[in-house]
């Protein structure tokens, strides 16, 4: 168990550095690190982190060019994007730092992604890269997802170094690129570069809940394709717009079917919709005078559905096609169109860590000590790159700050929750790695 006196000393040191933690988050938010496939603008953020770790914590780190990592593009988990999903990793390095322990303890990885979704053009009331703070809330793209979590990990490294506390196990801090847009190639690259551990804490947004499982997902684009034109000479132009409603109804029914087919886990017992099916996008034609007045050739629909830990890609795809093909047989009017599909993004599996794992126990105990109430591990309502660590046999948990509007305008993170998160990371590191 962790000595109470040590926990109190580290907690007091963090309180003394709280303003620096807030400033660190704001500085990170002010550096745009948008992921805009095939490119990304993460380099400036990584250089900032590298300089801060060296200057503030006396920790040297390395930048890792993904294209130079042996075996990356040939690995089974590597995502080979095509078309608008294509990736170019030139000038987009990962960052990693390893602080050696005294020996005899477990190695802990603190992993975060520096890339963010694009700011977009929505209704921002606070400029997306201003890092503005109001009433203890820090605003900006990436503040919640997940520069706040990265800053908490960085500050935990600094506090451990300033305190003189030595861990028995190694502590690894990493900041990876290309997690958004279902990338995860950055997380994979650091594993192949040799950064392994006995456990990983990922400070993705969780509102200080502890997650030991994540959902997976599948995304497909369906196209009803006919022939464009207008019937001035008696030709028939079946209109895909008039029939896309049948596909929408199909996936409303598929949503019901998924709830009956997916395995149930106690980790998601309180989730009202553990395997949701969303229809995210609908597109047909274009509102432009440059386009002739005509029935559109195609109508496209994007369907996104989440999966439970243990579900396999082959079974998920079999369910999908079985349901879709039967629907078309039952609705023959759809047969006048060519029905095309394209799976978008990578297949991402759901994963689950044994709730009795030492990392889960250490992090739960740390969270309870800091927050003053039990924090039982449950399942995350979202997918992330935890599955990559799971592939390499590295158990992981997710615990992050409180905030709102991930991927949306006025994304924000609660500064006080970052104070609590940093204390949890400090306590978990000592409990898991051991203090010398």
pLDDT digits (tens, 9 = 90+) for 322-370: 999 999 999 999 999 999 999 999 999 999 999 999 999 999 999 999 9
234 and 331 belong to one structural domain: yes
At 154, list the tokens: 């960085």
309 and 332 belong to one structural domain: yes
Q: What does the alpha-carbon distance between residue 381 and residue 137 come to, in Å, rounded to a whole number?
A: 23
Q: Give me the torsion for CA of 179, 128, 409, 416, rounded to 10°.
A: 80
CATH of the domain at 241: 3.30.70.360
pLDDT at 415 over 80: yes
Q: Which of 67-81, 189-203, 286-300, 388-402 is least confident? A: 286-300
pLDDT at 143 over 90: yes
Helix (H, G, I), strand (E, B) or coil at 200: strand
Q: What does the alpha-carbon distance between residue 192 and residue 87 come to, in Å, rounded to a whole number?
A: 18
Find the mean pLDDT for residues 156-167: 97
Which DSSP category does 401 fall into? -
151 and 26 belong to one structural domain: yes
pLDDT digits (tens, 9 = 90+) for 342-353: 999 999 999 999
Which phi and psi angles does 121 have, rounded to 5°? -105, 15
Which residue range forms the structural domain that includes residue 261? 216-348
289 and 355 belong to one structural domain: no
63 and 132 belong to one structural domain: yes
Instruction: Tell me what pLDDT residue 2 has.
Output: 59
Peptide bond into 262 cis (omega under 30): no
359 and 341 belong to one structural domain: no
Quote the pTM value.
Answer: 0.94
Is the distance from CB of 424 to CB of 19 less than 8 angstroms? no
Instruction: Tell me what pLDDT residue 196 has.
Output: 97
Binning the chain into helix, strand and coil, the percentages to the nearest 5 are 35, 20, 40
141 and 232 belong to one structural domain: no
Report the relative pairing of strands 412-414 and 137-139 from DSSP bridges.
Answer: antiparallel
Q: What does the alpha-carbon distance between residue 176 and residue 186 come to, in Å, rounded to a whole number?
A: 5
pLDDT at 259 over 90: yes
Report the relative pairing of strands 378-379 and 298-307 from DSSP bridges.
Answer: unpaired
From residue 213, how far is each of 84, 204, 409 by CA, in Å? 30, 13, 28
Of 328, 348, 368, the residue that ends a domain is 348
pLDDT at 231 over 90: no
Instruction: Provide the percentage of residues in the chain whose pLDDT is more than 90.
Output: 90
Instruction: Tell me what pLDDT residue 1 has.
Output: 47
Q: What does the alpha-carbon distance between residue 143 and residue 406 come to, in Å, rounded to a whole number?
A: 9
Looking up tokens 């997918």 gives 383
Find the mean pLDDT for residues 226-242: 77
pLDDT digits (tens, 9 = 90+) for 374-402: 999 999 999 999 999 999 999 999 999 99
Instruction: Tell me what pLDDT residue 227 has.
Output: 84
100 and 225 belong to one structural domain: no
Q: What is the phi-psi region of residue 407: left when phi exceeds 0, alpha when psi lies from -120 to 50, beta otherwise? A: left
At 387, list the tokens: 């599955």
284 and 308 belong to one structural domain: yes
Is the distance from CB of 216 to CB of 384 less than 8 angstroms? no
22 and 135 belong to one structural domain: yes
CA 6 to chain centre: 33
CATH of the domain at 185: 3.40.630.10
Q: How confident is the model at residue 94 (pLDDT cuts 50, 70, 90)?
A: very high
Q: What does the alpha-carbon distance between residue 115 and residue 92 come to, in Å, rounded to a whole number?
A: 10
pLDDT at 75 over 90: yes
Please name every residue paired with 339 in a beta bridge, in sequence order, or none if there are none: 224
Q: What does the alpha-carbon distance between residue 173 and residue 154 come to, in Å, rounded to a whole number?
A: 8
Of 317, 333, 348, the residue that ends a domain is 348
pLDDT at 232 over 70: no
Please name every residue paired with 4 in a beta bridge, in sequence order, or none if there are none: none
| Count of domains forming the chain | 2
Q: Which of 17-31, 58-72, 78-92 is least confident? A: 78-92
pLDDT digits (tens, 9 = 90+) for 116-133: 999 998 899 999 999 999
Instruction: Tell me what pLDDT residue 287 has.
Output: 84
331 and 359 belong to one structural domain: no
Of 348, 377, 396, the residue that ends a domain is 348
275 and 376 belong to one structural domain: no
Q: What is the mean pLDDT of the chain?
A: 95
From residue 234, how far is each of 111, 237, 282, 299 by CA, in Å? 63, 9, 29, 23
């Amino acid at each position: 168990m962790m000595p109470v006196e040590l926990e109190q000393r580290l907690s007091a040191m963090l309180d003394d550095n709280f303003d620096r933690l807030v400033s660190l988050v704001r500085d990170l938010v002010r550096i745009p690190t948008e992921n805009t496939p095939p490119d990304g603008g993460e380099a400036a953020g990584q250089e900032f982190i590298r300089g801060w770790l060296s200057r503030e914590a006396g920790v040297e780190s390395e930048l890792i060019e993904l294209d130079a990592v042996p075996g990356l593009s040939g690995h089974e988990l590597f995502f080979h994007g095509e078309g608008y999903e294509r990736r170019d990793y030139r000038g987009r390095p990962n960052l990693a730092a390893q602080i050696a322990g005294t020996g005899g303890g477990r190695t802990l990885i603190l992993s975060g992604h520096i890339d963010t979704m694009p700011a977009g053009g929505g209704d921002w009331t606070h400029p997306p890269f201003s890092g503005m703070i109001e009433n203890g809330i820090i605003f900006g793209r990436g503040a919640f997802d997940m520069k706040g979590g990265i800053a908490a990990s960085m500050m935990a490294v600094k506090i451990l170094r300033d305190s003189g506390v030595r861990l028995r196990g190694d502590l690894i801090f990493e900041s990876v690129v290309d997690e958004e847009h279902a990338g995860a190639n950055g997380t994979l690259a650091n594993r192949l570069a040799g950064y392994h551990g006995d456990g990983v804490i990922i400070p993705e947004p969780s509102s200080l809940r502890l997650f030991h499982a994540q959902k997976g997902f599948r995304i497909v684009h369906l196209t009803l394709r006919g022939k464009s034109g207008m019937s001035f000479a008696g030709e028939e132009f079946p209109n895909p717009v008039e029939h896309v409603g049948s596909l929408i109804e199909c996936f409303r029914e598929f949503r019901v079917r998924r709830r009956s087919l997916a395995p149930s886990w106690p980790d998601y017992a309180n989730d009202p919709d553990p395997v949701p099916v969303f229809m995210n996008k609908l597109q047909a034609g274009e509102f432009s005078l440059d386009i002739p007045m005509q029935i559109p050739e195609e109508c496209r629909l994007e369907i996104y559905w989440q999966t439970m830990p243990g579900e396999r890609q082959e079974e998920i795809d079999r369910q999908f096609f079985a349901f879709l093909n039967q629907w078309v047989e039952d609705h023959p009017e759809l047969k006048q169109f060519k029905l095309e599909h394209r799976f978008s993004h990578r297949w991402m599996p759901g994963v689950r860590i044994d709730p009795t794992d030492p990392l889960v126990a250490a992090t739960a105990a740390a969270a309870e000590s800091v927050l003053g109430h039990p924090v039982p591990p449950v399942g995350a309502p979202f997918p992330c790159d935890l599955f990559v660590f799971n592939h390499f046999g590295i158990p992981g948990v997710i615990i992050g700050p409180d905030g709102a509007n991930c991927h949306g305008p006025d994304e924000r993170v609660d500064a006080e929750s970052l104070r609590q998160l940093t204390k949890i990371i400090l306590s978990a590191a000592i409990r898991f790695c051991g203090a010398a």
